[in-house]
Amino acid sequence: MDRSSENILIVDDEPENIRLLGQLLAARGYQIHVAESGEQALTAFETLSREVRLDLILLDVLMPNGLDGIETCRRLKQQDSTRTLPVIFLTAKEDHATIVRAFEAGGADYVLKPFETDVLLARVRAHLTLGRLSHDLESALDERSRQLRVANRELRRANDRLRRLAMEVSLIEEREKRRLAGELHDSPMQKLNLAQMQIASAARCRDSESDRLLEVGQELMREALQELRTLQFELSPPVLYQGGLGAALGWFARYKTKRFGVELHYVESPTLPAIETDLAVVLFQSARELVYNLIKHSGASRGRIELGGDLESICVSVDDDGRGFAPVALDGLTSGEGGYGLFGVRERLSLWGGELDIETKAQGARVTIRVPSTMRTGR
């Protein structure tokens, strides 16, 4: 085996010991470096490590002038670069306490002087092999951690892109609904209006039977018109774009009260800052989901939509006096049992740096969504 690439540092205050040990190891092909004190060993290590990779230290314990072997080892082990470097103590000191201190200081082995040459060489070989293996393992671990960090960064980026996409999709969906609502208003509803007027004027010049039929037709048309108008508003309330978030939420509360018999109140804070349209759309969509949930799941007879905010944040909360629910219900999505509603709200809000909070009250639940007033999505 070629040992010329294996570097051993011998530290001993007796030049004669260094000479004997050096000869023994050099004869086996190892590269030998020497230091005659603990202090010299520390500096020698610094200088040597710039040129070679040190593989093992043979360290005398008793060195009366300056640092002893145990203290030298302790200092070496405090440095990251030498933490895994094997140190074999060589000493004539045989007492139990010194051996324990030597291992506590980070020593890998302890050999008593005078030593058997074969035993010492076997231990040197064993620790060189172990050291090399642990060095290789550490490099492999470093490389694996680096790859994991890269993969993690990629994953976070992909996640971010996905959430932005989800936001885009929800805004595209809202714009599409708005377009459809406009088309509903402009074409079929206008035609129905016109047809209703035509029928009304035809009814004035007919006999009593055809009058009755025309009246039924006219009534059906009135109902169809009303339903179309409701659908148009459900799809995209024009009031959101004309009057802003507060006006849209107020309209929504009144409309749902009439439609479902749940008494919904709308309250607004006087300190509300201006809210840009995209954010108003996101907040309206989110509040709409909370109200749908209130109607679908809570069994409440009363509810309240509150819009508050200041220069720091804007929040919408929906309160009910129903059965309440634990935030754990949100885990339903991952277990495959729950819906998408609250999960979707959370995702959309996170793009605006916002969050959703569920509180269970003595009776009912309060769900709050909060978004920083100054947050921009950077789109």
Comparing CA positions, the residue from 313, 305, 293, 318 lying closest to residue 248 is 305
Q: Which residues bind Mg ion (CB under 5 A)?
A: 293, 339, 341
Q: Applying CB under 6 A, which of residues 286, 341, 352, 356 lies at the interface with ligand ATP?
A: 341
Contact between 365 and ligand ATP (CB under 6 A)? yes
Q: Which two tokens stand for residue 275?
A: 């809210």
Contact between 297 and ligand ATP (CB under 6 A)? yes
Contact between 188 and ligand ATP (CB under 6 A)? no
217 binds, options ligand ATP, Mg ion, none, Cβ within 5 to 8 A by partner type: none
Q: Applying CB under 6 A, which of residues 222, 340, 359, 361 lies at the interface with ligand ATP?
A: 340
322 binds, options ligand ATP, Mg ion, none, Cβ within 5 to 8 A by partner type: ligand ATP
Q: What are the DSSP calls for 111-125, one per residue?
A: EESSPPHHHHHHHHH
Task: Show the CA angle centred on residue 190, arms to residues 188 and 191, nearest 5°.
Answer: 65
Amino acid at 200: A
Q: Applying CB under 6 A, which of residues 22, 69, 322, 354 lies at the interface with ligand ATP?
A: 322
The full length of the chain comes to 379
124 binds, options Mg ion, ligand ATP, none, Cβ within 5 to 8 A by partner type: none
Task: Show the CA angle centred on residue 173, arms to residues 170 and 174, nearest 5°.
Answer: 90
Q: CA 192, 196, 198, 202 torsion: positive or negative? A: positive
Q: Rounded CA gap, 17 and 289, in Å?
A: 84
Omega of the bond leading into 114 within 30 degrees of 0 (cis): yes
320 binds, options ligand ATP, Mg ion, none, Cβ within 5 to 8 A by partner type: ligand ATP
Interface characters, 101-140, with ligand ATP (x: CB under 6 A): ----------------------------------------
Binding site for ligand ATP (CB under 6 A): 289, 293-294, 296-298, 320, 322-323, 325, 329, 332, 338-343, 365
